[in-house]
Amino acid sequence: MHTFDFTNDPITAGQVEKLALLLGDQWSTKARDGFLVISGRFVDSIGADRTEELRELYKTQVQNGRVALRRSLEALFDAVGSLEKFERDFPIFINDPEKGSLGVFPQLPILGIQTLSARLFRTMDSKAKVHDTGEPLSAFIMREGKLPHISPFRSLLLRKKPRIYWCSYEAYDTPLATRSALQILASWESDCKLRATLPTAELDGSAYVAFNGDTKYEDGTPGGFAGYFLELKAQDHPELPGGGLQIAVLGAPAVSLLEQWDDAESCWSTIWARPA
């Protein structure tokens, strides 16, 4: 069977049927083939298919969302060239005696994200510092009006997992609600009391579907294939409710509003806003 012959694979065939329902009038074989490049990443470690989660992420119940999903999948296919070329140019090795382990990590953009939501939210530790300089992150944002730079992708086809900003469509009522919905574990040492608003008008081409970024297996050993699936909704840590949609952002995204949680008043307080 050809690697991408989904007709004889009931799991992938079912995924393609779900994709057709999501795309509706925007269906194209090019979008389908872009999806086939990453369809395996929508099946999680226990075999559950997460394709349906694209509905909420791309908001496919409206025309703009269906257009955004089609454009994004077609852009991935354009980067690949053809399914055969993708298979030929990006071989995968697992514990190969000569090449070791080498994965491939296709990235799915969210083109037209400004048509889906006016803003995204990035929640951070209020005590966080800029990695390179040690400057308080809040001071950096107020001075620069943006988040510190994360290198953008040179290609949609990567050989290692990228570093990203994990963002959300939602501004949750409290740090505790944020932690619960996005499954931000206490061991990560973030108090979730600093929140930046990112205008999506400046994010087209910088927003992507979020991938799981685990670099170790459950037993603690390192592995390039650990957590090798999409992370559309936070749901991998059962000790927290999860369910929050997550969006990956790169570059140095502009910030329009910076808020900090006020413990005394039990509310979010604006500490900086971009000048009009």
For 97-152, the pLDDT digits (tens) are 887 777 888 999 999 999 999 999 999 999 999 988 999 999 999 999 999 999 99
Q: Given the DSSP bridges, would you call strands 267-273 and 257-262 parallel, antiparallel or unpaired?
A: antiparallel
Three-state DSSP state, 244: coil
Q: Look at residue 265 in the predicted model and tell me its pLDDT.
A: 97
For the beta sheet containing 165-167, the strands, ordered from the edge strand earlier in sequence to the opposite edge, are: 165-167, 247-249, 207-209
230 vs 39 pLDDT, higher one: 39
Q: Look at residue 1 in the predicted model and tell me its pLDDT.
A: 39
Three-state DSSP state, 191: coil
69 vs 94 pLDDT, higher one: 69
Please name every residue paired with 106 in a beta bridge, in sequence order, or none if there are none: 157
Q: At what angle do helices 29-38 and 10-23 cross, to 10 degrees?
A: 130
Q: Look at residue 217 in the predicted model and tell me its pLDDT.
A: 60
Q: Look at residue 187 in the predicted model and tell me its pLDDT.
A: 92
In whole angstroms, give the CA distance from residue 156 to residue 208: 10
Q: What is the mean pLDDT of residues 77-98?
A: 89
- What percent of the chain is modeled with pLDDT above 90? 72
Q: What is the mean pLDDT of residues 261-267?
A: 97
Q: Phi, psi at residue 267, to the nearest 5°?
A: -155, 165
Phi-psi region at 63: left, alpha or beta (left = phi > 0; alpha = psi -120 to 50): alpha
Q: Look at residue 214 in the predicted model and tell me its pLDDT.
A: 62
Give the H/E segment covering residue 141. helix 137-144
**pLDDT score of 44 more than 50:** yes
Q: Look at residue 237 in the predicted model and tell me its pLDDT.
A: 84
**DSSP character at residue 76:** H
Confidence of residue 162 (pLDDT cuts 50, 70, 90): confident
Six token digits for residue 272: 């900086």
Q: Phi, psi at residue 229, to the nearest 5°?
A: -155, 170
Would you mind telling me the total number of residues written for the chain in this entry? 276
Q: Which of 47-56, 59-68, 133-142 has the lowest mean pLDDT?
A: 47-56
What's the mean pLDDT when you consider all of the chain? Answer: 90
Q: Look at residue 236 in the predicted model and tell me its pLDDT.
A: 80
Q: How far is CA 62 from CA 15, 26, 155, in A?
A: 20, 11, 29
**pLDDT score of 248 more than 60:** yes
Q: Look at residue 93 in the predicted model and tell me its pLDDT.
A: 80
Give the H/E segment covering residue 157. strand 157-158
In whole angstroms, give the CA distance from residue 208 to residue 113: 9
**pLDDT score of 42 more than 70:** yes
